[in-house]
A = this chain, B = another copy of it.
Amino acid sequence: MKKLILVFSLLAPAAILAQEALHTLPPSKSPVVNNDSTVSLTLFAPKASAVSAHGFGNAPVVLERSADGNWSATTPKLLPDLYTYTFDVDGMRIIDPSNVYTARDIASLFSEVIVPGGEADYYSVRDVPHGSVIKDWYDSPSLGQKRRITVYLPAEYSLNPDKRYPVFYLLHGMGGDEDAWNELGRASVILDNLIAEGKAEPMIVVMPNGNAAMKGAPGYSELGMYEPRGEHSVSPQGSFENAFTDIVSYVDSNYRTLPDKAGRAIAGLSMGGGHSWRISMMYPDMFDYVGLFSAAVRWNGNGVDDSPEAVAEVENSLRRQMQNPPQLYWIGIGKDDFLYPINADYRNMLDRLNINYLYEESDGGHTWSNWRHYLVHFTPLLFRR
| Contact (Cβ within 8 A) B303 A221 | no
Closest residue to A158 on the B side, CB-wise? B254
CB-contact partner of A137 in B114, B130, B341, under 8 A:
B130
A47 with B91, Cβ < 8 A, contacts A4-B304, A108-B23, A218-B100 known: yes
CB-contact partner of A224 in B114, B227, B228, under 8 A:
B114
Which residues in B have their C-beta under 8 angstroms from that of A148? 130
- Bound-state CA distance A113–B254 (Å) is 35
A11 at the interface (CB under 8 A from B): yes
A384 at the interface (CB under 8 A from B): no
Copies of this chain present:
2
| Contact (Cβ within 8 A) B136 A135 | no
| Contact (Cβ within 8 A) B146 A136 | no
A90 at the interface (CB under 8 A from B): yes
- Bound-state CA distance A69–B93 (Å) is 13
| Contact (Cβ within 8 A) B91 A125 | no
- Bound-state CA distance A341–B5 (Å) is 11
A12-20, A163-171, A284-292 - the one binding chain B: A12-20
Closest residue to A337 on the B side, CB-wise? B15
A173-181, A238-246, A319-327, A352-360 - the one binding chain B: A173-181
A38-46, A72-80, A200-208 - the one binding chain B: A38-46
Closest residue to A173 on the B side, CB-wise? B19
CB-contact partner of A306 in B5, B29, B112, B129, under 8 A:
B5
| Contact (Cβ within 8 A) A17 B175 | yes
**Residues of chain A from 197 to 232 with CB closer than 8 A to chain B in the complex:** 218-222, 224-225, 227-230
Contact residues on A (Cβ < 8 Å of other chain), bracket:
35 or more
A247 at the interface (CB under 8 A from B): no
**Residues of chain A from 12 to 67 with CB closer than 8 A to chain B in the complex:** 12-13, 15-21, 23, 25-26, 29, 43-49, 55
A296 at the interface (CB under 8 A from B): yes
CB-contact partner of A48 in B47, B225, B366, under 8 A:
B47
A47 with B49, Cβ < 8 A, contacts A9-B302, A9-B303, A133-B135 known: yes
Which residues in B have their C-beta under 8 angstroms from that of A97? 92-95, 109
| Contact (Cβ within 8 A) A20 B367 | yes
Would you give the 0/1 interface string for A299-327, flagging 1 where the beta carbon is closer than 8 Å to chain B?
10011111000000000000000000000
**Residues of chain A from 100 to 136 with CB closer than 8 A to chain B in the complex:** 100-102, 104-109, 112-114, 124-127, 129-136
| Contact (Cβ within 8 A) A16 B132 | no
Which residues in B have their C-beta under 8 angstroms from that of A367? 19-21
* A–B pairs, 11, beta carbons within 8 Å: A5-B302, A16-B271, A17-B175, A19-B173, A23-B108, A46-B90, A47-B48, A125-B219, A125-B220, A132-B134, A132-B136
